[in-house]
Amino acid sequence: MYRRGVSSRTRKLLIGGAAAALLGSALAVGTGMSQAAEQGNAGAGSGNVNALVPALGFSPGNPNATADRVGPTGVNVPGRCPPTQAQVNAQVALKNANLPSGTDLESRIQRFEKTLSAIQDLKCPASSTTLLGRLNSLTALRGNANRDNLLRGLGLNETPADKAAAGSGDAAASGATGNAGAVSGNVNALVPALGFSPGNPNATADRVGPTGVNVPGRCPPTQAQVNAQVALKNANLPSGTDLESRIQRFEKTLSAIQDLKCPASSTTLLGRLNSLTALRANANRDDVLRGLGLNETPAG
């Protein structure tokens, strides 16, 4: 009887051990599959590194180059630099289990810092990208009490994924045709994007606008209609990248929208204008804006 008792306990232990081993194996396989899936759909999710690492701002170098080339800041850099965006993304992922995904200032700064560190790991200088200048523009905003809302309002597109999404969104929302933005002095290249798809000119009911309030269903006009109205009322539209030129473009565009019998709330222009005017107190405002690389127009 005693020996049978031992045998029974032994069988239970063996069965329990086998079950634990199977569970461990299943977990390992599941984890591996999850990791493989995550690697396979790079950039698909908002938390994915490929969607968070800032764009380098300069074309990749030739890995076989032996001579220097002029970098984006005007100084010579190794001809093999910078690495490709994919290489940098992989290096950032290797060194950072979690990359901040927020739109607040400090999250953005951390993404830039970690990306610059990855570029140095790959034996290329920061000057082979535009990252350092853009980072300096971000850190210059640390003294602004409303910095996070200001940045969100400016609609920065710092990552390749953001830029791709913004490009397709602007194209869909603009309704512009022809050679829009083909010439730097062209109105189409200067009028800010409306930030919301055009209304149906035959609509009689309201629809929810981009700010969450109801707007006439026929609003906003198309980007092409707004551009034409801006051109009609303004012989010369400021083309500068300085703060005041940008503000004037937004104000004249909002005026054109009102001329076309649509409210400002049928676009995202007013919020973006408020973010710009909030920068007036910053002594270094023009350099900050240029460094941030804003793309405020459909052509941008």
- All structural domains of the chain with their residue ranges: 49-150, 182-292
- Do you find a cis peptide bond into 60, omega within 30 degrees of 0? no
Band (pLDDT 50/70/90 cuts) for residue 134 is confident
Q: Which residues contact 7 (CB under 8 A, 6 or more apart)?
A: none
pTM metric for this prediction: 0.54
- Average pLDDT rounded to a whole number, residues 41-54: 61
| pLDDT for position 27 | 31
49: burial class by Cβ within 10 Å (0-12, 13-18, 19+)? buried
Longest CA–CA separation in the chain, Å: 106
Distance (Å, whole) CA 128 – CA 73: 8
| DSSP sequence for 107-135 | HHHHHHHHHHHHHHHTT--GGGSSHHHHH
Which tokens sit at 180? 């829009």
Q: What is the pLDDT of residues 171-229, one digit of tens each?
A: 333 332 222 332 334 888 889 888 888 898 989 999 888 877 889 999 999 998 999 99
Band (pLDDT 50/70/90 cuts) for residue 299 is low
- Do you find a cis peptide bond into 82, omega within 30 degrees of 0? yes
- Strand 206-208 and strand 214-216: the pairing is antiparallel
Amino acid at 293: G
End-to-end CA distance of the chain: 86
DSSP 8-state assignment for residue 101: -
Band (pLDDT 50/70/90 cuts) for residue 15 is very low
What are the start-end ranges of the H helices in 145-242? 147-154, 160-174, 223-233
